[in-house]
Chains A and B, each alone.
Chain A
Amino acid sequence: MADPFEVRMRFTSQLQHLNASVTSSQKAALYALKYRDMDEDLHSCILEQLERQNSMNTRANIMYFIEHLCDMAQKENHMEFVRMIQRDILRVVDAVAPGDGSGAANVKVVRRVLAALQSKSLLPLQTLSDISACLNERDRDLPPGPSPRPRRSTTNNQNSNNSNSNSATTNGTRVLDKRQIEQRIEEDRERHKRLRESIWAVEAEGDGEFERLWGEGSEVGEDDVLAGEEDRGERRRGRIG
């Protein structure tokens, strides 16, 4: 049997190094399920990492990881993880997208993950709508215009990189640095790519495929006429047919 301390350390490290790839989330989730007898311990690791001063991106990645964990826990029929997440969901949301504005960029992440959990019936609808209303308020509370991140000078671009590279603080709030933003952009793109990979998939049974094709069809439009005319032109020249 593995040393509980070591398991904890390893899992913590995995959480800290999560990235946008599905495999990294799945790897950590598999690890958690492998040591499911220590589930309470591992769950506390998740909370700990969320509430520690990890970067905004790490917290977002842990949020996405939670979706994977609940998903796989359900499949493995080890609902304890799901129950604990449900119990602590408010804490999780508060940690990922704090109300002070520093986690504003994570609000969309939280929304997305919660919606996904709800659609898999891993989260009661009531909880979701409660949290959603709360997040809306948070959105509204944000001061309009200026963002909670350091001023980026437009006049001296060369310097802006250096001046922002370490997370400075403005007006006492913790802010994002340029590298973090760029990392998030890349990670979101990566996630989006994954999302698009399954965009075409239809269930094997039922009329899903038919419905999709039917929906994709459209009335004859001017571009169809245009395409037809071009085809006719080609035919006349004897290239086709």
Chain B
Amino acid sequence: MGQFYQNHQHHGHFSAPHNQMQPGFPNQQYRGNQQGFRQNQFSPVQDRRFSGPGQQGFPIHGQRGRGHFSNLHWTSNGRGIGRGQFDQHPSMVNQTGPGPQQFAPQQTPTQQSNFEQVPEDSGDPDDNPFRPSKALQVEDESSTLNAQQVEATQNGVPAEGQKMLPPTGRPIPKGPQDKSGQKFSFAFKSKAPTTKPDLSQKMREPAPRRDAVSSGPGPSGTRTKTRETPSEHTLKRATGPERHAPRKEEKKVEKREEKREMRLTKAPLTLPPEFAASDSVYFRKPGNESVVGSGTYGKVFKAMHVYTKQLVALKKIRMEGERDGFPVTAVREIKLLQSLKHVNVVSLQEVMVEKNDCFMVFEYLSHDLTGLLNHPTFKLEHAHKKHLAKQLFEGLDYLHRRGVLHRDIKAANILVSREGQLKLADFGLARFFAKRRQLDYTNRVITIWYRSPELLLGETQYGPAVDIWSAACVLIEIFTKHAIFPGDGGEINQLDKIYAILGTPMKTEWPSLVDMAWYELLRPVERRHNVFAEKYKEKLTPAAFDLLSSMFQYDPAKRPSATEILEHPYFVSEEPAPRQAIELRDLEGDWHEFESKALRKENERRDKEAKKEIQRKEQQKEKEREKRRSSMTVSTERDAKRQQTARPG
């Protein structure tokens, strides 16, 4: 996959010779490409600016933008066989016309081999027509990088097309072999160890393998701004074919190559048309169809990697209204997630920049707790519930050990896979906390239904106990399907909900109660008694009730830690033992809060419409009746009027 980007460069070069035949365009493209690699990576902003359309500039700019992206991904390349490799040939073939088959075999799938092959390529006589004239080449060589850049900026001069070569810094062709190989050497030279190629190579080499997956560019045949391969882009520009034309040809070439290239162990991928048309390497259904979540942070999309078929969740980082550039909260979230690795914590696979949008790429899980608990038919067994609860606290235990407060534990942020594996998600509010000292944090955290009383009373020096409270609320939801403290969204009402069940807090059970910042402000109106036992003892097993009672203590210092919770008899000894909910495999569809909400809304809408329809019909009837009546009255009125007018008259 990663191969794609390498190929961009190749493409660029290949297209260059072609350009000579078609003066004007090609030059610019070539340059653009080069510059893209050199400059764009440092100045994404510039990319944006340049990407604007300009007659001449367009090709260059488009490429620049891409150059930037490809640079980001560049690192991953150079290993493995990728489809991109094949793409390369097609583009060549397209442009050069003659002898596509001959090229193909010579190019081995790995980057290294490409370099080595340069001399071999020279043997191909077909390439000659594309090679620039000697004079031009010489000129190219002599020109310095700076000069090239300057030239590059003046676009539109046809003659310059031939100057494109200089950046490669290739030796002057001498022998006939060289000449014949001209095209190839030309093409590959750019990668040869001149200043620029070095850079790109360097970038490629240290690339972590992991990125390779991500770096795969979108499938070919896309718009200018997308991550398509530059060669295709240039192709389109130069020849102006319809979008899909080049792709077809590519495929043919691929087949040919397969025959010839015996070293090729992996069969070339053929993509379903849907994927092939995707702008991104992560295919997602168009429009809102792929949205699986949305909030203040932005939107989350379900997507599939077009090559690995791996499902991912793309969290789009909202840039609207960000005056100071990339939001620091997103940076914090990414940094935090990168430091976490646990089976019960959602894993961030990569961060991807695409079309000026930044996405966090997560593993995809089909359900979340809200969606699952609201499922119309699916029922969790007690052993399943216990297993989910156990995973929840194992995840929390890990976070707290690692010094992370999640600060947004709620059913909708807890994902469940088709195998019944639970993962904590959405670290948008999470932060590292000081374990051995008490620091000051903001108390405007955690969705209010799940917010602990100390936070509601204005505490700013809190710790992991806030997550434990939230988790206890989730636990209640797992057991009863209903939120325990569903307030109206305000702090006052939320505290009332808590007081209504747990009673008003007392100084004896929570000594620091009076030190809470808003203790006076939010003093309870009247004393209430704890009715938790009354309400929940019946619904819970004895151990579960005991565990929850300890977690719902007002004094945060008295709440058990996640570690302690996992040692509680509920998990350790009480029957039934936790059992993974593998039955979820058979559950159809994806069940997230988002979908269940949508479903509910849809149902509500239907109900409403049905009611409206009924109302409308009734109204119509009523109107008709009225009409009948009024027509009668009108006639009588008229009569009356007539009488009236008649009278004076």
Name A's B-contacting residues (CB within 8 A). 104-105, 107-108, 139, 145-152, 154, 157-158, 160, 176, 178, 181-182, 184-185, 188-189, 192-193, 195-196, 199, 215-216, 218, 221-223, 226-227, 230, 233, 238-239
Contacts and interface: CB of A to CB of B under 8 A. Distances in A.
A72 B497 CA distance: 45
Interface string B162-201: 0000000000000000000000000000000000000000
| Interface size, B (range) | 35 or more
11 contacts: A149-B523, A151-B525, A151-B526, A152-B493, A158-B488, A178-B492, A181-B521, A185-B518, A188-B517, A218-B436, A239-B210
A200 B458 CA distance: 22
A104 B519 CA distance: 9
Contacts of B504: 145
Nearest to B527: A145
B54 interface: no
A192 B442 contact: yes
B163 to A, nearest CB: 42
Nearest to B514: A139
Interface of B: 208-210, 339, 341, 401-403, 434-437, 440, 442-444, 458, 460, 487-488, 490-493, 496-497, 499-500, 504, 514, 517-518, 520-527
A157 B493 contact: yes
A200 B525 CA distance: 39
Contact of B525 (A108, A152, A192, A239): A152
Question: Interface on chain A toward B: helix, strand, loop, or mixed SS?
Answer: helix
Nearest to A227: B402
A226 B402 contact: yes
Contacts of A238: 209
Given A185-B518, A221-B435, A146 B442 contact: no
Contacts of B402: 223, 226-227
B435 A146 contact: no
Given A139-B514, A192-B443, A215-B437, 7 more contacts: A107-B520, A147-B525, A152-B493, A157-B487, A181-B492, A185-B458, A223-B401
A176 B521 contact: yes
Contact of A154 (B437, B443, B496): B496
B401 A188 contact: no
B461 to A, nearest CB: 11
Contacts of A160: 493
Given A147-B520, A195-B440, A239-B208, A188 B493 contact: no
A188 B518 contact: yes
A154 B436 CA distance: 39
B223 to A, nearest CB: 34
Contacts of B499: 154
Contacts of B497: 154
A163 B267 CA distance: 73
B526 A145 contact: yes
A151 B493 CA distance: 12
B521 A105 contact: yes
Nearest to A112: B517
Nearest to A143: B523
B61 to A, nearest CB: 35
Nearest to A186: B444
Nearest to B458: A188
A147 B514 CA distance: 13
Residue of A139, A148, A185, A233 with most partner-chain B CB within 10 A: A185
B374 to A, nearest CB: 22
Contacts of A105: 518, 520-521
A112 to B, nearest CB: 10
Contacts of A139: 514
Contact of A181 (B208, B522, B526): B522
Nearest to A199: B440
Contacts of A152: 492-493, 496, 525
User: Top 7 A-B pairs ranked by shortest CB distance?
Assistant: A147-B523, A104-B520, A105-B520, A105-B521, A151-B525, A154-B496, A145-B527
B341 A146 contact: no
Contacts of B436: 218, 221
Contacts of A158: 488
A108 B517 contact: yes
Residue of A189, A195, A199, A238 with most partner-chain B CB within 10 A: A189
A233 B341 CA distance: 11
